[in-house]
Amino acid sequence: MVEHDDAPTAAEAYAYLREVEIEKLKEGVEMKSDEEICLDEILAIKVELSDKAGRSKLTVGGCLELWYGEASGVATYQSQRDDYPGISQVGIRRELEQIGLRPVYEKGENLLYVATAHPALQKLLRETGWASSYSSLLARLEGYQGTRGPTSFAGIKKRFLEIKIDDSNVPF
């Protein structure tokens, strides 16, 4: 019905889908597991960070990239000060903790603490269908190190998942 007024027959629909190479369009989505897609959703959440120019909107993934790069000394964002003039490690961590996430750099490893059943993270994920199950999904990730805690996430005490973040599960 994309190209005609009448509904296609099954054979016509199949021919159309082959013509637009539907298999190539589906490849990227079908190759990811639910836990990887859930992590992608979390990394795509937008947060606002205070800086000298006001507020900057970055994704969680972008914040983590800046935070880990600075913490490890591998990719400091000093060269990006024009883009992020007032953003600091403390500011990034504070904003992420408000939604139940805490970046940690320990013994040469990038770790992400994800609060279990955190109300802000559940609210941000409510339209994905993973609001109540994100903890069990993320516990299936390759970098999952265990459930720990409790600890405070911007004043809310929660147990948390400890996830090792590296190129195998998040390509920074």
The least confident of 93-102, 113-122, 125-134 is 125-134
Instruction: Say what the pLDDT of residue 80 is.
Output: 55
Has residue 6 got a pLDDT over 50? Answer: yes
Percent of the chain with pLDDT over 90: 47
148 vs 80, more confident: 148
Percent of the chain with pLDDT over 70: 80
Query: Cα angle vertex 42, ends 37, 47, to 5°?
Result: 150
Q: Is 57 exposed, middle or buried (0-12, 13-18, 19+ CB in 10 A)?
A: exposed
Has residue 106 got a pLDDT over 70? Answer: yes
Pairing of strands 109-115, 54-59: unpaired
Instruction: Give the single-character DSSP code of 45.
Output: -
Has residue 169 got a pLDDT over 90? Answer: no
Instruction: Say what the pLDDT of residue 53 is.
Output: 67
Tokens of 13: 């629909």
Instruction: Say what the pLDDT of residue 79 is.
Output: 45
When pLDDT is averaged across residues 36-51 and rounded to a whole number, the result is 90
Q: Which helix (H) or strand (E) segment is 93 a member of? A: helix 89-98
